[in-house]
């Protein structure tokens, strides 16, 4: 009986640690978009649920609707991905702050915020830089290989 309870508890812990986190994208009637970890409060809001990798931050999510601009992989040192978005700069920062955690993000300049991610499989270090540039929002992912 104790053995069954032990395995049940272990199974629950494994399943809960691998569960995906969710971010709610809420758009109110005025068109303002906000990201949060709870469902939209306003019943008139349009709600979209965005599944993110597990809560331990094992992967870096790509901002919804962002398009790949360039990538550089395979040099054995670093993988680099650059995405662009036409969405509001603060909205993109809010998305990455929610996924990485506020304590892992730092505003470098008025036009740039960096978020560090921990435990990205196959990499020693990973970071996202969100920056304004010529009418676009650039999302730059850099992953340093182990």
Hey, where are the domains in the chain? 18-145
Position 87 scores a pLDDT of 94
**Which residues make Cβ contacts (< 8 Å) with residue 50, sequence separation at least 6?**
22, 23, 24, 25, 35, 61, 64
Q: Cα Rg for the chain, rounded, in angstroms? A: 18
- The Cα–Cα gap between 105 and 128 comes to 9
Position 14 scores a pLDDT of 32
84 SS3 class: strand
7 SS3 class: helix
pTM equals 0.66
Q: Tell me which residues of the chain have a pLDDT lower than 50.
A: 1-20, 54-57
In 10 A of CB 117, how many CB atoms? 23
Q: Are 50 and 66 in contact (CB under 8 A)?
A: no
The DSSP call for residue 91 is H
Helices within 18-135 (DSSP H only): 89-100
**Which residues make Cβ contacts (< 8 Å) with residue 66, sequence separation at least 6?**
83, 84, 85, 92, 139
């Amino acid at each position: 009986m104790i053995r069954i309870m032990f395995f049940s508890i272990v199974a629950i812990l494994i399943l809960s640690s691998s569960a995906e986190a969710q971010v709610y994208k809420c758009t109110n009637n005025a068109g303002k978009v906000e990201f949060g970890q709870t469902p939209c409060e306003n019943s008139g809001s349009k709600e979209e649920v965005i599944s993110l990798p597990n809560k331990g931050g094992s992967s870096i999510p790509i901002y919804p609707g962002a398009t790949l601009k360039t990538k550089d992989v395979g040099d054995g040192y670093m993988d680099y991905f650059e995405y662009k978005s036409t969405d509001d700069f603060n909205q993109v920062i809010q998305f990455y702050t929610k996924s990485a955690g506020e304590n892992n993000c730092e505003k470098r300049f008025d036009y740039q915020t960096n978020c560090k991610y921990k435990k990205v499989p196959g990499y020693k270090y990973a970071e996202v830089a969100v920056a304004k540039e010529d009418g676009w929002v650039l999302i730059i992912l850099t992953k340093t290989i182990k």
